[in-house]
Amino acid sequence: MPVELEMILRILLAVVLGSAIGFQRSKAEKPAGMRDIILICAGAALFTIISIYGFNVGDPARVAAGIVTGIGFLGAGAIIRRGEAGVVKGLTTAATIWVAAGIGMAAGAGMYIIAPISTLLVLLVLLIPRQTP
């Protein structure tokens, strides 16, 4: 298979997996919905592919570390402290953003079993009923 075709397939895999998670988040009416999660997953896959194939020197893991850091900041923006009681909202959204980037990185790296299995596990966790204090 030509390298470019495999790159495209990796990005498409990230889009499909991101859409599965994003669909669940949209149905649950959460702030980071389908488009957001797809873009996070596809972007992480694209940066991973670029780090593997785009540079002939250096360590591709450095780009991966940058993705993790950047996505951490994006997820932090989803966390909000509300009211005098100090109620924290958005932790699951932030964690979903973070893990969607990880799934995108796995797809971008060609981990064709790890990425879908991780997506399935994330969806199962997101379906666990929320516990109220």
pLDDT tens for each residue of 16-75: 999 999 999 999 999 889 999 999 999 999 999 999 998 777 787 888 888 988 898 888
pLDDT at residue 83 in the model: 65
Is the CA virtual torsion 94, 98, 55, 46 positive or negative? negative
Give the domain ranges of the chain.
Answer: 3-126
Give the CA count within 13 Å in the CB-facing half-sphere of 104: 31
pLDDT at residue 133 in the model: 61
Contact assessment for residue 60 and residue 52, using Cβ atoms and an 8 Å cutoff: yes
Tens digits of residue pLDDT in 3-13 = 999 999 999 99
Q: What are the tokens at 103? A: 């799934």
